[in-house]
Amino acid sequence: MAENIRLEVVTPEKSVVSEDAKIVMAPGELGEFGVLSGHTPFMTSLKLGSVRFEDSSGAERFVFVSGGFAEALPDRVTILADSAERRKDIDIERAKAAMQRAEERLAKEDDGDIDFMRAQAALIRAIQRIRIAETRRI
């Protein structure tokens, strides 16, 4: 039987996850990676996306992260995220409203006051949050 590893997901404001996991999958800057107990140590930057993990009871869990860093050790994964939310805490109506606002900003092509990079980042963030919130629950 495989051993569990400790998963810690923290932001500058709070601890989002602190529990044992059988496996952790995260959106590394160079691609998604997975960590099991006994993994070779490494550190990587994260991109916006979903951290998926199987908790000690075998249930699949999801956490939205918007960048940061991950450190994998043989017995733990620590994620220092710019921001993070568990799937159950995502307000899907708020995320849909944010997506609509970002789409409206991006549709205003000739408006010199619009920061397109910022609006595009807001749109991508909202889409990812919606995808995670709507992921099939097991």
Indicate which CATH number applies to the domain containing 10.
Answer: 2.60.15.10
Residues 63 and 29 in one domain: yes
Cα(60)–Cα(137) distance, integer angstroms: 8
Residues 46 and 77 in one domain: yes
Into how many domains does the chain fold? 2
| pTM of the full structure | 0.80
The tally of CA atoms less than 13 A away on the side-chain side of residue 16 is: 24
Per-residue pLDDT of 57-116, as tens digits, reads 999 999 999 989 999 999 999 999 999 999 888 888 888 988 888 888 888 766 666 677
In sequence order, the 6+-apart residues with CB closer than 8 A to the CB of 78 are: 8, 10, 70, 71
Average pLDDT over the chain, rounded to an integer: 88
Domain that holds residue 9: 5-87
Residues 110 and 94 in one domain: yes
- pLDDT bucket at 138, cuts 50 / 70 / 90: very low
CB atoms closer than 10 angstroms to residue 81: 24
Token pair listed for 73: 């050790």
Residue 112: CATH number of its domain: 1.20.5.440
Query: Quick check: 130 pLDDT over 80?
Result: yes
